[in-house]
Amino acid sequence: MPPAREIPSTAADKLFIFALAAIGGVYVTLIAGMLLADGAYVLEASSRVPGGWLEKITANPVLQSLGKPEIQHAIWLTLFSCTAAAVLSLVVAVPSAYILTRTRFPLRRWVDAALDIPVVLPPLVVGLSLLILFQFPPFSTEFGNLFPFLPDSCHGSSLGRLVVYQVPAVILAQFAVAGAFASRIMKTSFDQISPRCEQVALTLGCSRLQAFVRVVLPEARRGMMTAFTMAWARSLGEFGPLLIFAGATRNKTEVLSTTVFLEMSIGNIEAAVAVSLLMVFAAAAVLVAARAWGSPGGIP
């Protein structure tokens, strides 16, 4: 089918469209400029390296910094924690969004609004609130008091000690914010699915669970993939809650976002830029995947 022809427009219409494009263009230029500047910084570092193009790549101080053991550790921990946080986000987002979309209960609007709290709260406050939460029972209660049947060696520990400033705190801090994003995406997805098919499934003999599994979930597949990828991307960029709740201990709770902070704080801009570029590529890959899964015909 040929593309729709444009509506004939006057000079004033054209000026209006041009003004809108110019304002939007400034922002797009800013985004492109930031990314290009990172790339230019790496190229500039390459130009300072003597020798041929192979040396310029292999001996580039920016790219070399990615091989440092602590950064390698951060890369692997980031991949693991972001994936774990995204899986947890989806596990929470699907049921909560479904309940909010398909059922009516007292305080429903308040619960709906509460899901937005992690999105609007300052990130440091999320981290601080998590830290404070783990000072209270049952998180602070020693296992010996909770489960007397456990071996004596476990008695002195507590859930708080196992989580705070440890790897689980990284995942929990990322999940605390990413879960809200995933819930919002899933709610939009369920809102767009007509309840009619589910109702028909009930008349055909399905229980609510069967209708959900056989009819709703297959329809929500795209939304779930988008929610997963967006939760993953959000976890990748999380920093504030991590700093407070998980700390920034090298080779322990350091993820890529904390690497940028740690390298900048010791004046190692090359390593910070290298890690930033790596995160740009990861985020871009996730965005492309989300677009591809989110639209019926693939990447628009």
DSSP code per residue over 50-88: -S-HHHHHHT-HHHHGGGSHHHHHHHHHHHHHHHHHHHH
Binding of other proteins by 205 (CB under 8 A) = yes
| Nearest-10 crossing angle of helices 221-237, 69-102 | 140
CA angle at residue 46 from 42 to 51, to 5 degrees? 165
CA atoms within 13 A on the CB side of 166: 9
Binding of other proteins by 197 (CB under 8 A) = yes
Q: Which stretch binds other proteins (CB under 8 A): 5-13, 39-47, 145-153, 216-224?
A: 216-224
Q: Which stretch binds other proteins (CB under 8 A): 19-27, 99-107, 191-199, 272-280?
A: 191-199
Binding of other proteins by 201 (CB under 8 A) = yes
Between 5 and 196, name the residue whose CB sits nearer to other proteins: 196
Compute the least distance from the CB of residue 260 to other proteins, in Å. Answer: 42
* R_g of the chain, CA atoms, integer Å: 24
Element (H, E) at 198: helix 195-203
Binding of other proteins by 112 (CB under 8 A) = no
Number of residues that bind other proteins (CB under 8 A): 18
Between 142 and 219, name the residue whose CB sits nearer to other proteins: 219
49, two tokens: 């390296």
Q: Which stretch binds other proteins (CB under 8 A): 78-86, 218-226, 229-237, 256-264?
A: 218-226
Q: For binding to other proteins (CB under 8 A), which residues are involved?
A: 194, 196-197, 199-207, 210, 214-215, 218-219, 221
